[in-house]
Copies of this chain bind each other. A is one copy, B any other.
Amino acid sequence: MAGRQPVNDGNATDTPTGDTVTHDHRERTGVWFVGARGSVATTAVAGCAAVTAGLHPPTGMVTETPPFGGTGLPPLASLVFGGHDTASCPLPKRAEHLTGAGVLPAGLASAVRADLDAADREIRCGGPAAGDTRTDEELTACFADDIASFRTRHRLARVVVVNVASTEPLPEPGADRLPASSLYAAAALRAGCPYVNFTPSTGLHSPALAAAAAASGLPHAGRDGKTGQTLLRSVLAPMFVQRALDVRAWSGSNLLGGGDGAALADPAAAAAKNAGKERVLADTLGHTPEGEVHIDDVPALGDWKTAWDHIAFDGFLGSRMILQTIWQGCDSALAAPLVLDLARLLARAHEAGVTGPLPALGFYFKDPDGGPAGLSEQFTALLAFADRLRETR
């Protein structure tokens, strides 16, 4: 695929958003994945190439819909990928595995082979590995150097760091070292990069990083991408409130294969994830209903997940009613387009001088940086953010 060359950038004027690109065609934007060999990152790299090449429509990418026209987002064709990972399986091989698992359509991995190879060359070894004797400061410096070097080598206008690594356990209270996700976040700050945390891991949400984040003048967003059960909850919970129905119990069960299932089989990691799932209910309903959320590791499901929700609510005169939902989705295919959205939005926010946390991007997160909890209000806030970006061009 030669689509990433300046000469072809003109295609970007034909994006579905009808965007008239006033962007400097030679300007390119880096996307640095923490967890660059994982399913989400691999799907994002392969999918970005496929959409750029016209092999697939940009289904699932909110930033490719008409309301984002004219907002000056970096074109997909201008994105350059790299990242950190502790795994060593090359991206093209990972893409083949995802093809067998039904995540990537047959033939795609070979069609975008050049793009996967290019991204793979930009993946650096993450850490800390077992037995790693480096201090937090040394690791942060090393990671920041990797990112800065990537930016320099490719002469990128900027690099957005996006955490899509497996969920790490909740840090023990009183632990004297930062969790890995926070080291990467610190490295992003040090390298002067906007930062997105698409996982429930700590990342920038560490008190130890608060001052540095505030001082950095960088935009950052999120925690914990909202891709399935919580997405549904954020549209259903407002419905009950708007209709004055009394939600008594909201129970959920999640079956996950893939790496995330195994990571979340650790009860501590699951606790991190479930906190996000239950927050949307408490925030929307004004109380925490009965019921629990389970996350089970079911390797036989591969990259697919199933979420069952059972909602017992009372209607007029106390009549008991039940809503159940079953969501069967492909985690990587749900996450990847949102990750591309966020990378573009953060890049543009940085360019526009927006700083600090971005409550306007709550649409994407289980644990947003503030703002409303209902999806509809979050979408409205996102559209307002698009308007703001448009106005600053």
> How many positions in chain A have a CB within 8 Å of any CB in the partner chain?
77
* Contact B312 A251, beta carbon cutoff 8 Å: no
- Pick the most buried of A61, A235, A245: most chain B CB atoms within 10 A of its CB: A235
* Contact B337 A64, beta carbon cutoff 8 Å: no
* Contact B317 A104, beta carbon cutoff 8 Å: yes
CA A376 to CA B329, docked complex, whole Å: 25
Known A253-B308, A296-B291; judge A239-B231 contact (CB<8 A).
Answer: yes
Interface of A, helix, strand, loop or mixed by DSSP = mixed
Q: Does A354 contact B (CB under 8 A)?
A: no
Q: Which residues of B lie under 8 Å from residue A231 when comparing CB positions?
A: 239, 243
Interface residues as binary, A228-267 with B (CB distance below 8 Å gives 1, 0 otherwise): 0001100110110011111011010101000000000000
Q: Does A22 contact B (CB under 8 A)?
A: no
* Contact B294 A290, beta carbon cutoff 8 Å: no
* Contact B242 A62, beta carbon cutoff 8 Å: yes
* Contact A105 B329, beta carbon cutoff 8 Å: no
CA A50 to CA B316, docked complex, whole Å: 10
Integer count of this chain's copies in the complex: 4
Chain A 292-338 residues near chain B, CB threshold 8 A = 292, 294, 296, 298-301, 306, 308, 310, 312, 314-319, 321-330, 333-334, 336-337
Q: Which residues of B lie under 8 Å from residue A324 when comparing CB positions?
A: 308, 325-326, 328
Q: What are 8 of the A-B contact pairs (CB < 8 Å)?
A: A104-B317, A235-B235, A251-B255, A251-B296, A253-B308, A289-B300, A308-B324, A376-B377
Return the 10 tightest CB-CB contacts between A and B, nearest first: A376-B376, A248-B300, A319-B333, A60-B316, A253-B253, A321-B329, A249-B300, A324-B326, A316-B333, A322-B328
What residues make up the interface of A, taking CB atoms closer than 8 Å to B?
Answer: 43, 46-47, 50, 56-62, 64-65, 99-100, 102-106, 108, 231-232, 235-236, 238-239, 242-246, 248-249, 251, 253, 255, 289-292, 294, 296, 298-301, 306, 308, 310, 312, 314-319, 321-330, 333-334, 336-337, 363, 374-377, 379
